[in-house]
Every structure is written in structure tokens, then in C-alpha cells.
Structure 1
Amino acid sequence: MLYTELIRLWDEGVRAVDNRDWQGALAKLNQISDPTSRTLFVTSSVHLALEQFDMAIKTLDSVIAKDERLAVGFFQRAAVHMMTNRLEEALGDCIWAQKHMRENTIIDYKQLGLRYKLYSWQVLYNAAAVHCRMGQWEKAGEILLAASQERGGRGVQVDLAMDSIARREVIAPLFVPEGVVFRPRKQDVEELRPRDFLGKPEVIISDIPHDDFGGFEPLRPQKPGYYEPKVEEGQDSRYMCVKNAYMAKSPGELTVPAGAHVFVFSQDDRNDLATVIYDGQRGLLPNFLLEPVTKKTKGKKKKYSVPSGIPLPPSLKPPTRPEAAVSLPPELPSSYTIDTCTSSPSQDIITTQSPSRQTEGADSVIVKAHYTYTVALSVPIDIEYRELQERVAQKLGQPAALIRLR
């Protein structure tokens, strides 16, 4: 049996005991397939309240079998044995209860769910009650005298019992009060209640018109009109825009506002009607009201706006690499140019700046070569191409055969 089911039935049985619904309590407690000593104690208390003493004793036998050191179980069974005039069994239970008190004057069962404190003087009191029924008045008086000397003893109750014994009157046994039973832990009962850890979802903003779905998006029911409906192969289906508002004039037609986007299943030129879906509803609209969805242009980008259906997929063409603006260094005359080429084996790009004279009559110039990085070197004005190629290759750390200058 699941522990949660045990706690549920136990709690419902205790609630029935609080309402003095004894039959309802038995119905709930008897459904527990694997009872514990504490749930069985509740059942015995219900039988005792119904004055079913034999059933109460039988249930208390099971309680003690489950927990052999439960002193309050022996105490309660001793009292029930006296009610059925089983004095020897009652006296034996009093002895066992006193033994399992383990020389304590009090045992508090609150931690186990029973709001009851068992005192050692109460066990002695019931033992004296057994001796009264056996006619052993002197023995009963001695036990009551010992009970009055116990700490926590109720002097008035013991004194009244001693007066009754002096008059040779039988005293009534003590019981655990009616309705005082073992209860499940409050934390365990609270765990049975369902908890909402995520809270209630709310739609803050949505691209879909009139959207009230607040759940997990992949679990959204695919309502026609909000998603691309399935169409037959070869069918000319698409989204179109309604030019003017239209009111339904016959069954099967739709009322659609102006500017709405509808999904067209098919168009019948003979009847001038089209089968469309709008806002989750399927119906008919005149063909002359439909026009292609207009494009909205923003800058250089073009995008179709289809608020009633799924957004159009992005373009498959990747964006081009932006062209960086190239400016001439201040020392170059505006008549000079910069060109690029690629070396055939490695496809590396090399750009060179045309030579510029630093001073009039100078015999050397500064050449800048743009590769993975930029290098500058001083060369004579009348240098040959192959020598310049070798110097640039040496500067860049590349083979001269891979470098072409333009």
C-alpha cells in the first residue's frame, strides 16, 4: 500500500472520530491494507466507543503485536479486560505496562501523534482496581498508597479511590479519553494537497490575434487559421488579404473585417467564391474581395506580414560580407590606386600601395603591403618587380612564388 494512501485514509478516519462518526471512521480505517500500530489503536478506540469490547481487545492484541513496548497499549487493554471481567489478563497487562514505563514516572506520546501523557500512578491505579474486583482490598490499598507517592500523581483522585476501598467499593478503571487517538503528522497531511509550483500561466503578448493560450507553446492545440493547415497535393493554397469588410449573407459564409488575412483553400471561378479559414473558422468569401498579401518594406529588407498564421521563413540566402571603405593614406597622391589579387595556391589576399615619393629627388620610397597584417619596407625607386616580390615575401615569411603584386 502506498504511504500517501495510508496517510489519506488515516487522516479521514481521525476526522470522522472528531465528528463522532464511528461507522464512517471504521469504514475508512478498515480500507488500510497494511495497518500500523497507531492506526490499529485508532480502530480499537472506535470499537471501545461503540462498546464492542471483544473487537476492541482483538484490535489491541494486534497493536501490541506490532509494537511490543507500547506501554499505553497494555494500559488500554488492561482497562478493557476489566470491563469484560477478565481479571487475570487485566492484571498481567498492568504488570507489562509498568515494565515498559522503564522506571519513568511519565511518558509523553505527543511526538508519536497521541496527545496523551501516561503516568506511572495511573498504571498502579488500574492494578488496584483489578485487586478490588478480586476482593483483595488490602493489596489494593497498598498499591494506591504507592500510587499517591508517585510524582505527578493526582492526589484528589487517588484519595477518593482509597476512601472507596476503605468502604469496600469497587473503583472504576482509567482509560485513554474518548477521541484521543494517534494522528498522522500535519506535514504529511499537507503534502497530500496538490501544489501549484509554476502558478497560473498568462499571455502577456502574442503575435497571434485573440490569443488566449497560456500553456507550453509546443503543447498548443493546432487550431486551424493560426497554423498552416494541411492541404491536398497540387492545391493552390495561400494567404490573401480581404480588401473590404464582408458580412455573411447565407449559411457557410464568414463575416470578416477589412484588412484581415485569410488562408485560401481553393477558389471556384464559376461561383466566384473561395473556401477560406479565418480565426479558426472555415467558410466562404467572394473572390473579388481577396487580393495578394502586400509586402511591407522597411529599409532594404522585405517581409510579409501574416498575423493570422505562422510567420514566413527567413531567406535562405546568407548575408554578404560588408565591404570596408578603403581610404588612401595621407602621404599618397590621389592619382595613385590600390588593387588586390589572390595568390593561386593559398588564396591569400595581398594588397600593395603604390610607391610615393617622400621628398623631391629621393632615391628610395616606402611600400606598404597589406596581407593578414600590414608591413612597410623601404625600397629603391628603380627596383625590379621580382626583387620587390622577394623582399615582400621575406618580410611576410611566405614563399615568393605565392605572392603576386599589382
Structure 2
Amino acid sequence: MATIDQLRAELQAWQDALNAHDSGDFRTSLRLFAPIADTSKIILNVALIHDRLGERSEAIENLNRAIELDKYLAVGYFQRGGMHFHAGQFAEALEDFMQAATMMRANVEINYDILGLNYKLKLSEVLFNRGLTLARLGRADEAATVLRAIEAEGLSGKIARALKTPNECYPCSLPAGILYRPSATKMQLLNAAAQTSPASPVKPSLPSLHTEKSSTYLPSVSSRKYRKRKTSIASSYMSSPLSTTTITGGRVPKREELSRVIGVDMTVPHTDITSTPCAGVRVSHGQLAGLMAWRFIVQPDAAPGTSKHSSAHNPPPAVVVNFLLDTGSQKTFVPQDACAAIGLKLDPGTEVTLRIQGVRTRCVVADSDDAGRVGVSFMTAGSLSYYFDAGIVAPVLYDGSAERPSKVPRTIRPEDLPRRKPWILRLLSVFAFKS
């Protein structure tokens, strides 16, 4: 673990690099950042400086590194999309802007100021960039749909120009000179700690820079070790800003655990709810309490060239599977038994493309006793976002590029949830087991 002096040295190097940048000495700034460039914050700074120097390939390369360290770095996708746009790489730019919107999770803005970056990333600007990129790709109708959906967000002038002369318009991006900066409070606390015990390598009162790999509002994996651990599996789950726990870590949840709280798994479809938007449930009790779950229809990916006529007479096999929303994972996991139920005999660890609630998703086959989990790959493939609907008291998945739906069908009805035994019966069952 880093000592107080080491933390102070890293913060001082960070500040020295910023001072060089602010004085216009970008090369010296890059040289000073290099020894401490192992967090998404610092690497994003390096990318922004390369961009100011006109070194776009180096800038994109560093943004790739920053995003590898922090999969939820919405501002990273946003800025990289702009760089791809200026390079004429419109397909790559569109993918980045879609990712940025997904990572914002239906928030209208993310204020990065509390994290040291003096910038508010607005969903309207992300969607403007997406619409402009669609226009540059020649997809005028899609561009118009996206852009007109945000006309009331104070961008009417830019939207009008983008619709009329898209080749003369450019995407929104971070202003020049905006960089991640360390908080003055952190340096003050470290200085105070050093004065109280100048020579002893005591446990720091603040995590080291190496724990700040997440530049977003979601905790990074490496920062979790500084949190107090609990004995329950629930300690492996982190909460999102919507007060809905979505990130799983540690021990993989089991199918039996999930079925116990939301109902039977692996059933034959008896519903017309085959797509989004759709509502799930927030698990109310047990070791998975707080997580969000849905029942989704899983089908094989349609073979290329299959006609609509033949598929109507011979619909593909399907099975209804319990899933947890796991935005802490890039991958989507489907239990081995679910694959077998639709005629696919695959070993755990195999990658396969499936249709989950109609969304074509690249999946990983999980062990048969592991719970199904939809991750970022599913959300991105369907351009999906989610919110918690207080009216129906349920989480809702929907197309993030569209308005929130007014009526949402439920994949799990409250009356179908397994009923908990009264506390006295649960207590008696424990004593009966022990006897």
C-alpha cells in the first residue's frame, strides 16, 4: 500500500503536469504525466493533450486505454466519438456516441466536477452528435428522428443547421483546456497526515491514485477493497445513482437463488411480451436484494437468408429465462440449460449470438447452475437504457434514443412472485432442520 509521501508525490506530479499544460508547454506536460498515467483520469488527460497537439491517432489510442480501465466512462466514449468524427470515421463515431448515451443510464446530465473535471456531459449533446453522425452517414430519416427529439433542449439552432447542411456542422466536445484535476482538499489532508506522522508509513486516510480507475459515478473494481466488507453476498453488489443495484461482483449469483425470489426459471413462452420496453422487478429480499431482474425470451439467432414466410410457419424455439441486470459486466451470460432448451448444445465459456427479448446479442454460455445476466453488450446492442418507474414500482428497459414509454408491460407480475413464509414459520423451519 502506498505511503503518505508516495501519495503526495503522485499528486504533486499531477499538479506539475497541469501547471505545464496551463502554461502552454504541452510536451512537458505529457512527459510529467507519463510516470503516473495508470488511471483513467490521467490517461484521459494525456489523450486530450495529444488532441490539442493535433495528434489524433495518439489521442484515440489513449482514450482506448482509458475506456479499457473504466468501461462506464461516458465522457471517454463521447470524446473518442468526436475524434473519430473529425477523422471521417463516422461508423466508429456513431458506435461511441451510442455507448456514451447508454453509459449515461437515462440521466439528462453527468456532472464530472465532483470528480475533478470541470464539465457537465449532457445527454442532449450526446444525442445531437449521434444525429449529426447519422446524417453524415447518409441516414437522413434516422438523423431527423434523433435530432427533432431534442429540439426543446436549447440546441434548436444547431439542430436546424445539422438537418439542412450536415456537412458544415461539427459535433459537441469538451472545451479546450479542460482536464481532470486533483482536489485541493485531498492535498490538504495528505499534507496534514504527513505532518502528524512524518516518518512512519501509516495507512493513508485516502485511497491511493491507483484506486481511482473509475472516472464516473460508478465505483471501480479496484476501489472496492477499501470498502468495509460484509459477510453477506450482498456486499458484492454496488448501487447505481438510481438507487437500484445493478453491478454484480465476487461470487456469481445462482439460478436457484434467483428463482427463489422471482419465480420458476426455464419455462415455455406464454406471453406476447417479446421485445422492449418491458418492466421487471427489483428483488425485495434474500441475498440478491436490491438487484433488478427480468424474464426474457431467449431464441437462436435467425439464420441469414431465412424468409419471413418460413419463419412464421416454423418459429424458432424459445425459452423464458430469468436474468439479472449486470452493468458491471461487458458480457452477457446465458445458462447452458437455456441454450440446450433451444437446441444448442454448447459448453460453458462458448460464445454464441442469441436473440434476447428480440435483441441480437453476443453471449457467453454460463454454467447450468449460474443465473442468467444481461450486461453492457445487451444494453449496447439494443441501444437500451433503464429507469425505475415509481408508478408501477418496477425497473423499465426501453430504447434509450426514444422517449420514456407511458405504458409498459411487465415480464414479471407482482402476483406471480413467490410468497415469503411468515417469519414465525421460517423460524420454526430452522429449528425443525436442526432437530
Settle same-fold status: TM greater than 0.5.
no
Structure number having the greater helix percentage = 2
TM-score (norm. length: structure 1): 0.44
Larger radius of gyration: 1
Name which structure has the greater RCO, CA cutoff 8 Å, separation 6+: 2
